[in-house]
Structures are given as C-alpha cells and as structure tokens.
Amino acid sequence: MSSAKSWLGLSLSLCFWGLLDLPTSVLSSTPPPPPGKSEALLSDKPQPHSRTKRSWVWNQFFVLEEYTGSDPLYVGKLHSDMDRGDGSIKYILSGEGAGVVFTIDDTTGDIHAIQRLDREERAQYTLRAQALDRRTGRPMEPESEFIIKIQDINDNEPKFLDGPYVATVPEMSPVGTSVIQVTATDADDPTYGSSARVVYSILQGQPYFSVDSKTGVIRTALTNMDREAKEYYEVLIQAKDMGGQLGGLSGTTTVNITLSDVNDNPPRFPQKHYQMSVLESAPISSTVGRVFAKDLDEGINAEMKYTIVDGDGADAFDINTDPNFQVGTITVKKPLSFESKKSYTLKVEGANPHLEMRFLNLGPFQDTTTVHISVEDVDEPPVFEPGFYSVEVPEDVAIGTTIQLISAKDPDVTNNSIRYSIDRSSDPGRFFYIDITTGALMTARPLDREEFSWHNITILAMEMNNPSQVGSVSVAVKVLDVNDNAPEFPRFYEAFVCENAKSGQLIQTVSAVDHDDPRNGQHFHYSLAPEAANNPNFTVRDNQDNTARILTRRSGFRQQEQSVFYLPILISDNGQPALSSTGTLTIQVCSCDDNGHVLSCSPEAYMLPVTLSRGALIAILACIFVLLAFSKTPSQWHLCEGFSQTFRKNYPALPLHALRNTCNLITARLAVIMGVHNLLQAHVVRAVIIFDTVSPQISTVPKKSLGLVYLLNPTKSMFT
C-alpha cells in the first residue's frame, strides 16, 4: 500500500464517528467500519419506498496537522443514502477553506486536504455539504454543516519569551533564597496529550543555583557565596515539553545573576605608619596629606569615616573624609610654628558607618593607623606685638612728639634686625613719622580734629637681611579735641522792633555753633559785648540751653530818630580755656499795628565817612560782591570778619564792629537787589538765609533790578 494510503488509514483510525439526526431519519445501529477502510461514514441499507428521505449520517472529521506526504491528505467521505452508486448524485462542498484548503470528489464524496494544516494557525474549519441531482441540479438532501478539527502533534518547542534574564541576589544569602522565576510557553495544545506540558531543569550554574522543575523559580543552592570571590554567574535553564520525556522538544534561556554586596568586610589600613611634612606657613585648611583604609565591599558598604582618636596633634590638625574616593584628608587646623613645635603624632581611625548586625562577628569594622607630621621651617615676615594699635592724641600736640612705640620681631630662629616705615598710601598728608630703628611713631605736622578726627595708618616692618619679608600692622590714631574754635552765630540775624514796643518785649532768640567737640558737650554763655554793656535799648537773657533771648529795655522807639540798631553780643564756650566771639544782631525799627504786625520799615540813607574816596567805596562793594559770589566759606561771619579785618588795615580809624555790620547789611541788600536765591548753589551759603531773614521792607525790593546801595554811616549811635 502507498504512503498516501497508509496516512489515509491513520486518518480513518482517528476519525470521530457522529450522526446528525433529522426528523425523517431512521438510522440503524450499524457499527462503524474498522480502521483502514476508505469510507469514513456508513449509512443503512435502502428501506422500502415508504421512507421518503434519509439524512446525513456524520457531523465532524478529525485530521492530524503537518501532513508531509506527496498526495493530498484524505480527510473523509460524504455519503447520502440516496446515492445508489450510479453517479446521479453530485456532492458540493462550501464554507471555510472549501476549494482552497479542502476539495471534494463530486461523485464519490471523498474529501481531501490540499494544503498544509497547522493547528497553531487554525484549529478547526466549519463547512457545509449538499447532495444534488446531477441531471436537474435539484437538491436531493437539505444542506448540512459539519466540522473538520485539526489534531495537534508535538511540533512546537517551549520558548522563553523574556530571556535572557538578569537578576541579583545578596551575597552570603541562605540556601533556598529565591532569585528569579523564568517562564517558558509551548504553542501546542495543552488539552491534548503532553505536547504542552513543560518541565524545567538547570544545564549550567550548578552547584550554585537550582531551579524548580514545575514553577521555574531559581534559588540559591550554596551557602556563603562571596561576592568578593565571584560576583557574576551565568545560569543556563532548559524547558522541555512532553513532561520531560524522551523525544520531547526543548528550549533554553540564559540567566545572568549578580551577587550584590553586603557589608561583610571590615576596613583595613594597608599602611600602618604614615610620614608627612608641612610648612609652618601653611594656611588654615590647607592639605597636609591623605590616609586610606581599604574595604573590599562597595557602595554604601565601603563608605568610610575617618577621625583623629589620639595623639598630640588633635588640636593642630583636622581630618575630613572624601566622599568620592573614601580617603581621609588631613588639614591644618590652627597656625603652626616651627619655633614652637617641630613635629606631631596622630592616631587616625577608619570605620564603616553602616553596619549589618548579622556580620558583626566578622569585625571589628574599624582600623587605626599612626601619622607622623614634621613641621618645616620657613623664613617668616616680622610679627607685630600686639597685632593692632589704638592711640589717642590731642590735636594741639607738638610736632615731633612720640605718640606710640611700635614693636615687631623676626619669629625665625635667625632673629634678623627690623626696619620700620609708614605705608604712605595710608598717610597721604604725611602727618606722622616713624623712627626706622626704634619704631617710635611721632607727629610730623599739626593735627586738627575738625579736619581729620581719625588717622588709620599702616606701619611696615622689614627684615634687613631679607627685604622681601615684610610684616604690617594697623595703627588707629584718634585726635582728641581741644578748645581751639570760638562759638559764633550760625547765620546772619536781623530782627525788628515795633515803635510801640514795650519794655521787656522779646524780639529775637539766637543760638550759636562751635566746631569743637568737648567730651561733656557744648555749653554757651551769652552777654552784651563790653562796648555795649550799658546799652539802654536792649538786653540779653541767657536761657541756659545754648540759646539767648534779646529783650527791649525801654519803650517808645521812633524810626525818625533811629531806624537801625546794631547789638554786639558776646558768645563764650565752656572750654579750657574758654573762647569767645562777638556776633552782631541787626535790629530795624518798624511801624506796627496794635497787634504787633509790621506795617513798614522805611530805610534811611547812610554814608561812610567822607574821608573815604569814591575808589574806596567801589573797592568795598567789589570786595563784598566777589566774596558773595565766589566764597566757599559756609558762614557769613567768616566772610564779613575777613572783610573787616582786611579793610581796617587801610582805615585803622574805623571801628571794627562798624565794618562788620556794614558788610552784613550790604551783603543782605546785595542778595535782595540782585535776586541771588540761586547763588546758594554757587557756594554763597548765606545768601538765601540772609534774604529770608531781612526785614519786610528790604524784601520788597525788586529781585531782578539793580538799585542804589545805601551804605551805612558807622556812627557811634548805630551800635548803642
């Protein structure tokens, strides 16, 4: 028999015989044919003609997948009991795969598979069959449906879809510690035989690991697996179907297992003694050297903490742990001196800060080493003792007075000679001088507290044998105040008195300023100047608060008799010795109403003595104008005092206070007439103040017009 016939016989032997009952069917219990017969389905013998119709006597076929023969694979046979074998019946096949996968002999009803069948691609096909009258095409039987099922064979090996695998397990893990689970799948039918029943085994990786044959869980198989001895393992796992029986298909996968680290190794110093050196001039925090304790672990388990636990250098040196390289860096903690101490010894400990309790028996997890540090001598600059000087000196100290002895010495063993000097950038005014050998600091110029109250100078000390070695120290010189400035009015005072003023009436409150700064504060005393001590018109009352009141001594003032009074006031301070100056208060007589409101203050024309030539008058005006316009002196007192002193040299017969008062009034009038409000910005400090304090009558003069300046006649009546 041919191979095709042999396969057909196998197909027949595996067929499932089924019957499809229809209402008109009368089926016998004829048993199915024995295996090897070519007919897949049997029908009863023909019955008497009283039976109108017979049904299909089948409903499904079974056929094995992966047929490899050269002939079409015989599936089975369709047969109608109306078929008498004379070829009058025509069989038609339709449905899934009809004409493409399966064909039917329209005369015999034999079904064949003409393509390769793969259960993993398609497990069954649903088709329909019909028997027709070949001559008329009339259906002889109703169309019926049947199924062709593809039976599985073991043609797929197990596959690991997720391999290769990567896993980690801590070193020193107990036997049986789960590492990872691997899973293989088999595409064969798990409900048919053992084709898809997979078992696992280990081909490579023993005796370190084992695998559960059913679950694929890999576990440790040895105790005390040490990462430091062997860190990486490659395990080969096999999955085999057919329950692992002979002839089963298999697949493999690789599992790369890494032992992760645990802290099971204590640190150890490979070097038990270190020898280091450092310059005595090394700055604070500079590095001296490094120590290292070796730890076979890694990561957090190899982290180190270094400390100085003993030795005579614990106060001079410090140690810090480098987190990147796990080394201990020794640094300078305080200034070193070769002359004071030439060597130090340190005992350094290196320890693991992260410990595991179950491995403490492998300890101790710390180690120590000894570090010897030698201090090397360097040529150091001179050192001042003390490191800062503060000196107080009165401003009237004589030139050449020694105010402080500066001392420096060479800290080296050689003890070189020292030369002193002043850093001139700190004393540009050259107020001081220092003896180059003794260090005596002396005054070289007069001191003025009002100009510079502090001098911060730098003294340099240089070694004579090595000029490159220079030390420095700061000297703060505080200039103490002495009473060398007289008090004065802060501004030009001009008051007015009403013609109807009564005796004892307040017409002005004055104050003073003093550029000195006594330790107990300023206290001023006010009185009339000696030349006006018996003034019958006005008096001065000291308020005992650095101010004074100007009061009238009589009533009944008249403009026609005298329109302006000049009251010289003596101002004294409380210094030792006391200083004083005279300030003049200009008082205008004005016409007022009953309430004391000014109505008018008529000016009168006055002339200086006729002995003054026109040129002298012009010189006075020009001098005052220039002083007004360009003076940088922040006081009208200084302006007019300077004018009066200078002008009196040429006219000694004129009273000094008369010249002062003449200057004061002229400057006030000039400021008003010329409209010099903005001259304040041109350093005429008093112009606006004068303008704001002149009498109402003066303030009515047009600011933008030039007018005749009426000079005052300095007669005695003006000042009394």
9 pLDDT above the threshold of 50: no
Q: Is 533 exposed, middle or buried, given 0-12, 13-18 or 19+ CB atoms closer than 10 A?
A: exposed
pLDDT of residue 343: 96
**Would you tell me the crossing angle of helices 636-650 and 614-630 to the nearest 10 degrees?**
150
Q: What is the mean pLDDT of the chain?
A: 79
* The pair of three-digit structure tokens given for residue 484, joined into one six-digit string: 């060398």
- Structure-model confidence comparison of residues 259 and 654, the more confident one: 259
Which range among 91-105, 325-339, 489-503, 666-680 shows the weakest confidence by mean pLDDT?
A: 666-680
pLDDT of residue 94: 93
Length of the chain: 720
pLDDT of residue 416: 78
Could you tell me if 56 and 107 are in contact, meaning their C-beta atoms sit under 8 angstroms apart?
no
Which range among 202-206, 479-483, 586-590, 602-606 shows the weakest confidence by mean pLDDT?
A: 602-606
Give tens-digit pLDDT for 264-285.
Answer: 899 999 999 999 999 998 999 9
pLDDT confidence band for 38 (50 / 70 / 90): very low
Contacts of 353 (CB under 8 A, 6+ apart): 303, 304, 305
The 10 Å Cβ neighbour count of residue 371 is 24
pLDDT of residue 121: 87
Which range among 354-358, 414-418, 451-455, 491-495 shows the weakest confidence by mean pLDDT?
A: 414-418
Amino acid, res. 156? N
pLDDT of residue 665: 55
336 pLDDT above the threshold of 90: yes
Contacts of 695 (CB under 8 A, 6+ apart): 494, 496, 588, 590, 598, 601
pLDDT of residue 483: 79
* The pair of three-digit structure tokens given for residue 315, joined into one six-digit string: 């106060």
The 10 Å Cβ neighbour count of residue 284 is 11
Contacts of 678 (CB under 8 A, 6+ apart): none
In sequence order, the β-bridge partners of residue 321 are: 328
pLDDT of residue 650: 57
pLDDT of residue 677: 35
Could you tell me if 207 and 222 are in contact, meaning their C-beta atoms sit under 8 angstroms apart?
yes
pLDDT confidence band for 705 (50 / 70 / 90): very low
pLDDT of residue 658: 52
The DSSP line for 140-152 is: SS--EEEEEEEEP
Amino acid, res. 60? Q
| Cα 684 to Cα 667: distance, rounded to the nearest angstrom | 11
Backbone φ and ψ for 659, nearest 5 degrees, come out as -65, -40
Widest CA span of the chain, in angstroms?
A: 185
Q: Is 60 exposed, middle or buried, given 0-12, 13-18 or 19+ CB atoms closer than 10 A?
A: middle
49 pLDDT above the threshold of 50: no
Which range among 69-83, 86-100, 295-309, 329-343 shows the weakest confidence by mean pLDDT?
A: 69-83
618 pLDDT above the threshold of 90: no
Q: Is 62 exposed, middle or buried, given 0-12, 13-18 or 19+ CB atoms closer than 10 A?
A: middle
| Cα 669 to Cα 711: distance, rounded to the nearest angstrom | 10
15 pLDDT above the threshold of 80: no
Could you tell me if 337 and 294 are in contact, meaning their C-beta atoms sit under 8 angstroms apart?
no
Q: Kindly list the structural domains of the chain, giving each domain's residue range(s) and its CATH number in brackets, ordered by start.
A: 60-151 (2.60.40.60), 159-260 (2.60.40.60), 273-376 (2.60.40.60), 383-480 (2.60.40.60), 494-600 (2.60.40.60)
Q: What is the mean pLDDT of residues 105-131?
A: 90
Residue of 406, 383, 378, 405 lying closest to 463 (CA atoms)? 383
**3-state class percentages of the chain: helix first, strand second, coil last, to nearest 5:** 15, 35, 50
* The pair of three-digit structure tokens given for residue 337, joined into one six-digit string: 């001196």
| Cα 350 to Cα 294: distance, rounded to the nearest angstrom | 9
Which range among 307-311, 484-488, 543-547 shows the weakest confidence by mean pLDDT?
A: 484-488
